[in-house]
Amino acid sequence: MFTGLIESTGTIVSVEKRDGSQRITVDAPGIAAKLRTGDSVAVSGVCLTALDIAPPVFHADLAAETVARTSLTGLAAGSTVNLELPTPAGTPLGGHVVQGHVDAAGTLLSLARIDAAADPKLADWWLRVAVPEAVSRYVVEKGSIAIEGISLTVARFEVGTPVGDVVGVAIIPHTYAATNLHSLKAGQAVNLEADVLMKFAEERLARERKLGFEITLEYLVANGY
């Protein structure tokens, strides 16, 4: 499990295409030395298995499902990726529960300074991402979403725009500088993971409806909500 608090960024050294899969080599100073073969590591929000570790680099294999569902298929030598190690038990959850199981790729529409005249190093930024239905069904304003593995808060949710449903997020200067967001361009694919707690809530409601149970105002009042 991860929290969406990026520890550092890494650089893709190479992408080796294989039959239906790929192997990536990541230059990850400060991260690779902490890894052992078989450890999990989140690469731009995708939980991968570290292999053939030779600090400062490690390798990871991308299964066909990963290639098909995530933005990692667009990686090339020189690409910047976000890196996070699993959260140790008992550690405070500073972000939100992130599994590293990407639901779908969205499209980065724009990333612009809120004040165009502000110093880029001190400016707040506004991120807009078009999200597919597989993710948008779990999006609510002020809820959590992981974009490229970064735990972010939905500041605005636009439904049914000409480019589909759009998530708007305010980005603070630290997040802009310390993650791969500053390296991305409009039109690029970005990894999206919906809040797993929203998925659990949907599953529970579906199960209760199937059993003939429905949450009503009267039920909530009677149970102290």
| 37 belongs to a structural domain | yes
Residue 92 lies in a domain: no
Q: What is the CATH number of the domain that holds 173?
A: 2.40.30.20
Mark whether 132 and 56 lie in a shared domain.
no
Same domain? 14 vs 33: yes
For residue 93, tell me if it sits in a domain.
Answer: no
pLDDT at position 126 is 97
Model pTM score: 0.88
The reported pLDDT for the residue numbered 215 is 66
Residue 103: per-residue pLDDT: 95
Please report whether residue 99 resides in a domain: no
Which mean pLDDT values do the consecutive 10-residue runs of the chain (225 residues) have? 96 91 94 97 98 97 93 94 92 88 97 90 95 94 96 96 96 96 96 90 72 70 73
Q: Are residues 170 and 191 in the same domain?
A: yes
Is residue 221 assigned to a domain? yes
Indicate whether 64 belongs to any domain: yes
Range of the domain at 209: 197-225
In a domain, 52, yes or no: yes
Which pLDDT does position 148 carry in this prediction?
A: 98
Domain endpoint, select from 25, 54, 84? 84
Tokens read off for 67:
């290639």
124 and 68 in one domain? no
Is residue 125 located within the same domain as residue 201?
no
Number of domains in the chain: 3
* Residue 213 pLDDT: 66
